Amino acid sequence: MTGMPIIIGGKEYIVTPLTQEEYEKIVPITWLGDNRYVEQLLTVMARVVHAALKKNYPEMAVKSVEELLDFGDKIPTRENQVQLTEAIKNAHLIIEKIVKFSNISPLKGSGTRH
């Protein structure tokens, strides 16, 4: 396997770089409000990490990545707010590493999808 090692859910995985096009296909341009925003954010984060993993782990599903990222129930409640906040922070750090490793711009094309 080629790529960059990264720890997800306490286990090491090898992520491959994404192209700008692959990244932009996953990241939505518009966000929904309220709880749907959080649910959409978690889905997008899982899809970005999944895209970087799928070449080396073709059998891994997006749902498995969500579980590795510890997203649990994606609808925020008073009880799971702290857990979701931590999971989002950790996933954001992983995505930052993937974006840097892939040498892509996370903001390129934002709001300009045709």
Q: What is the pTM of this model?
A: 0.72
Contact 99, 24 (CB under 8 A): no
Contact 71, 58 (CB under 8 A): no
- Residue 74: name the closest of 88, 64, 61 by CA: 88
Percent with pLDDT over 90 in the chain: 30
- Residue pLDDT, tens place only, 98-114: 989 999 876 654 444 43
- Residue pLDDT, tens place only, 27-57: 755 544 566 777 788 888 999 999 999 999 9
- Residue 69: name the closest of 4, 10, 1 by CA: 10
